[in-house]
Structure 1
Amino acid sequence: MFQRLPDAAGERVSFTIDGRVAEALAGDTVAAALMANGVVACRTTPVSGAPRAPFCMMGVCFDCLVTIDDVGNRQGCQVTVRPGMRVETQKGAREAAR
């Protein structure tokens, strides 16, 4: 599993994952922040419910889909963590906001 080096410097950003308080370094993507906070799977597949985790970390595979601030199906590897951001792991597919 991904672990941040103990001497990592930088501004800390506070956000929530499924309602619990978490921290990341400013500039981290949501996918990287999830892994750094011990989140193993960020979504489940809509048909079988199989867990999925960030894979490519460059926006190609869509395995890092999460809900961010009530907007579903966001690619966590393409979004930078912001202070106060609410990240939720997804269960199956989520309809896009209209």
Structure 2
Amino acid sequence: MALLKRLAEGDRPAVTFTLDGQPASGLLGDTLLTAVLTSSEHLRGSDFSAQPRAGFCLMGACQDCWVRLGDGRRVRACSTLLEPGQHITREPGRSV
């Protein structure tokens, strides 16, 4: 189940992407954070406990929303725009 539910702006074109190898979709103009959280229940695992995280500051300052793209780049989900066909892999976090 998705963590966020979209209440407005549903008239933008749909953009498909893959999330951890599974098909997902967002809307044109979404950040990766918005696209992931409207498709899933969490953004990534905590670096300290592997518990689910959903981002923190939402403006690119806190280091809590890193995801990996298909080309290997690690980017902040809150400040990176979704592009058609992107492959996004969530960081699983670490168990202590």
* TM-score range for the pair, normalised by the shorter chain length: 0.7 to 0.9
* Count of residues in correspondence between the two structures: 92
Q: Does the 8 A contact of 1:43 with 1:64 survive in 2?
A: no
Shift of residue 6, structure 1, vs aligned partner? 6.8
**For residues 89 and 80 of structure 1, what CA distance do their matches in structure 2 show?**
16
Aligned equivalent of 2:5: 3
- Residues of 2 paired with 1:27 and 1:6: CA distance? 13
SS in 1 for 2:91: strand
Letter of the 1:16 partner, please give it. Answer: T
Range moving further from structure 2, 80-89 or 52-61: 52-61
Matched-pair contact (CA < 8 Å) for 2:44–2:93: no
**Following superposition of structure 1 onto structure 2, how do residues 1-98 of structure 1 map, counting pairs within 5 Å?**
1-5=3-7, 8-45=10-47, 47-92=48-93
> Cα distance, 1:56 vs. partner?
1.5
Measured in 1, the distance between the counterparts of 2:70 and 2:84 equals 12
TM-score by length of 1: 0.80
Shift of 1:92: 3.7
Percent identity between the aligned chains?
33
**Pair 49,25 (structure 1): closer, same or farther in 2 beyond 3 Å:** same
The gaps in structure 2 that reach 5 residues or longer are none
**Residues 19 and 13 of structure 1: CA distance in aligned 2, closer, same or farther (over 3 Å):** same
